[in-house]
């Protein structure tokens, strides 16, 4: 079984406001991510957050919710808190809170890949672009707990290139994240086009 860890304690510096609370089709971005994660039968689900509203939304959904009081030191602190506060597992699947198009099919595909290549790091790609969520087998637990700063798990992926399985997706949408106002506008445009298409 795999544990899901939602990393949602960033400062949204390039956005200028809390991007996780931005509205998309009547829900905040982080709610879209939470609901997609909840749609899959994970061994354990933990959200690491900092914003009071995000923490409340997580608790309301029955997700194990941990406040990150060291978020200023970078994403590595959320990764460590997620591991420490989740139960024993075969692997850790790390989600970022700003990917509103992550969906059940993509989550299922990546989990299937993990069980096929159980000792490998699973990384989704589209047109050679790497993205999240990434799955790390339990054997990398100690190295994940030693991470420092805002590098996240990328340093481990680069170190163990021969242990990485890149899983190609059929669409870029699940990998799209939101860092800037321009990214948000782009996401809204995509949603509007999809809505018009199905009307």
Task: Quick: pLDDT tens for 175-188.
Answer: 999 889 999 998 88
In this predicted structure, what is the pLDDT of residue 190?
85
The range of the structural domain enclosing residue 78 comes to 2-198
32 has pLDDT over 90:
yes
Please count the structural domains in the chain.
1
pTM of the model: 0.93
pLDDT at 1 over 70: yes
Give pLDDT tens digits for 96-149: 999 999 999 999 999 999 999 989 999 999 998 999 999 999 999 999 999 998
Torsion of CA 46, 75, 118, 88, to 10 degrees: -40
Q: What are the φ/ψ torsions at residue 141 (nearest 5 degrees)?
A: -55, -50
Among residues of the chain, what percentage have pLDDT more than 70?
A: 96
pLDDT of 179 reads 87
Taking the C-alpha atoms of residue 2 and residue 15, their distance in angstroms, rounded to an integer, is 32
Residue located via tokens 């957050």: 49
pLDDT at 193 over 80: no
Find the CATH number of the domain harbouring 86. 3.90.550.10
- If you compute the radius of gyration of the chain from its CA atoms, what whole number of angstroms results? 16
Neighbour tally for 140: CB within 10 Å: 20
Contacts of 137 (CB under 8 A, 6+ apart): 90, 91, 114, 118, 119, 120, 121
Q: How do residues 68-94 score in pLDDT, each as one tens digit?
A: 999 999 999 999 999 999 999 999 999
């Amino acid at each position: 079984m795999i544990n899901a860890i939602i990393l949602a304690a960033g400062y949204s510096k390039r956005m200028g406001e809390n991007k996780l609370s931005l509205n998309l089709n009547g829900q905040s971005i982080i709610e879209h991510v939470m609901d997609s994660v909840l749609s899959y039968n994970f061994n354990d689900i933990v959200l690491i957050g900092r914003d009071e509203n995000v923490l409340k939304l997580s608790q309301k959904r029955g997700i194990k919710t941990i406040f990150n009081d060291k978020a200023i030191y970078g994403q590595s602190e959320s990764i460590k808190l997620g591991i420490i506060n989740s139960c024993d597992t075969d692997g850790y699947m790390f989600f970022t809170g700003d990917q509103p198009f992550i969906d059940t099919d993509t989550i299922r595909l990546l989990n299937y890949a993990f069980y096929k290549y159980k000792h490998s790091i699973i990384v989704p790609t589209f047109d050679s672009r790497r993205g999240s969520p990434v799955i790390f087998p339990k054997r990398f637990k100690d190295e994940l707990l030693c991470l420092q700063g805002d590098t996240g798990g990328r340093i481990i992926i680069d170190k163990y290139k021969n242990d990485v399985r890149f899983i190609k997706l059929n669409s870029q949408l699940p990998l799209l994240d939101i860092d800037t106002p321009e990214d948000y506008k782009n996401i809204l445009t995509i949603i509007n086009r999809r809505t018009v298409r199905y009307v």
